[in-house]
Every structure is written in C-alpha cells, then in structure tokens.
Amino acid sequence: MRRVIAQGTFDILHPGHVHYLSDAKAMGDELHVIIARRENVTHKPKPILDDRQRRDMVAALDVVDEAHLGHPEDIFVPIEEIDPSVIVLGYDQHHDEAALKDALTERGIDCEVARATPRDKTYDDELLSTGRIIDRIIDRRC
Ligand SMILES: Cc1cc2nc3c(=O)[nH]c(=O)nc-3n(C[C@H](O)[C@H](O)[C@H](O)COP(=O)(O)O)c2cc1C
Ligand SMILES: Nc1ncnc2c1ncn2[C@@H]1O[C@H](COP(=O)(O)OP(=O)(O)OP(=O)(O)O)[C@@H](O)[C@H]1O
C-alpha cells in the first residue's frame, strides 16, 4: 500500500486543484491531503473560506481518500502520522524538493518527494487559479 500526501490551501476549488490531486493519486494507492491552516498561509493573501470548509470540500472529491487539517505549528506531525511513501508538491509550489527531502531525513522520515504536472486550459474562459476567480468576482460584482 503506497500512501501519497498532497497539500495546499485549496480555497475555492477549481479544475487545477482536481488535476493536482489526480496526478498525486496516480503516484500511489491512497491519497491523503493536508489542508494549510489559515494562520500558516503567509506567502499570499489569507484564504476566504474557513479551514474546516476547505477540508470538507477536498474530502468530498472522489480522488481523495482522507483530508486532514494541517498542524498549527509543526508540518512534520501529520506526515509522521500518515507515514507516506511519497509527498507530491504542486507544480508551482514554492517549496524546494531537495530542502524538503533533507528536512524529512533529519526528522527520521523516509519518503520520496515528487512534483505534479500543470494543467493547461481546455477552453478559453477556464479559470485555473483561486486568485483569478476572486479577481473576476471583484470585477463583475463590485
Ligand atoms: C510537506 C508539507 C506539509 C505541510 N503541512 C502543513 C501543515 O501541517 N499545516 C499547515 O498549516 N501547513 C502545512 N504546509 C504548508 C502549506 O501547505 C503551504 O503554505 C503551501 O505552500 C500552500 O500551498 P498553495 O500556495 O499551493 O496553496 C505543508 C507544506 C508542505 C510542503
Ligand atoms: N492549473 C493548475 N494546474 C495544476 N495544479 C494546480 C493548478 N492550479 C493550482 N494547482 C495546484 O493546486 C494546489 C493548491 O493550489 P492553491 O490553493 O494555491 O490554488 P491556486 O488556485 O494556485 O491559488 P492562487 O491563485 O491564490 O495562487 C497547488 O499545489 C497548485 O500547484
């Protein structure tokens, strides 16, 4: 049984998220998704939706076996509990694969680190970014 971890904010789901999670699932048998806590999202604007709502929507996707709220302080705690064979990073996530692998080894966690592929638009008006969905809402409704 190969357990796979994917992680992210997943604020206002779109097909790019589904693509990432499907890519991750294809690398193993059981997909666990860690949802970043609002307080730990510091590299972009804070999510619109509550932590639990983002977790519940990810959990409802067919491809996902379990969705977990992230740890507030120590990102390695959920990883130790899940004990994955591979952690799959999103195609554009800022985390460095080699640095993450070193940090895992230092913590005594033996697992691979891989990266998902991007998903291209399948039609002109498709919006594959939470930020761009929010921009459109502001543009059209405000
Ligand atoms: C392997 C890994 C595990 C993570 N675990 C947690 C966690 O337990 N709690 C948390 O709040 N954030 C966690 N994060 C951080 C968020 O997922 C991170 O902010 C992420 O870059 C958000 O992705 P996004 O910008 O693609 O949405 C983790 C990140 C990585 C790479
Ligand atoms: N078009 C896409 N193709 C493949 N993966 C995607 C795509 N869009 C988002 N993802 C992946 O989904 C994960 C979570 O994405 P995130 O919640 O940051 O959404 P986002 O739409 O990229 O957000 P924002 O527009 O605010 O940066 C990330 O790993 C990201 O790489």
Report domain extents, the chain.
Answer: 3-141
Q: What residues have CB less than 8 Å from 28, skipping those under 6 apart?
A: 2, 3, 4, 84, 85, 86
Residues pairing with 113 in the sheet: 87
Question: Residues 1, 19: contact at Cβ < 8 Å?
Answer: no
pLDDT at 106: 97
Mean pLDDT score of the chain, rounded to an integer?
A: 97
9 lines ligand 2 (CB under 6 A): yes
- For residue 116, the 8-state DSSP code is P
pLDDT at 56: 98
Instruction: Give, using CA atoms, the residue closest to atom 9 of ligand 2.
Output: 16
pLDDT at 102: 97
pLDDT at 110: 96
| Binned average pLDDT, 10 residues per bin, the chain of 142 residues | 98 98 98 98 96 98 98 98 98 94 97 95 93 96 92
Nearest bound ligand to the CA of residue 117 = 2
The ipTM of this complex is 0.92
CA of 121 to the centre of ligand 1 (A): 25
54 lines ligand 2 (CB under 6 A): no
Residues 3-141: name the CATH superfamily. Answer: HUPs (3.40.50.620)
% of residues, the chain, pLDDT over 70: 100
Ligand 1 atom nearest to 87, measured from its CA: 1
pLDDT at 3: 98
Helix (H, G, I), strand (E, B) or coil at 13: coil
Ligand 1 atom nearest to 90, measured from its CA: 26
Tokens of 56: 């519940």
pLDDT at 120: 85
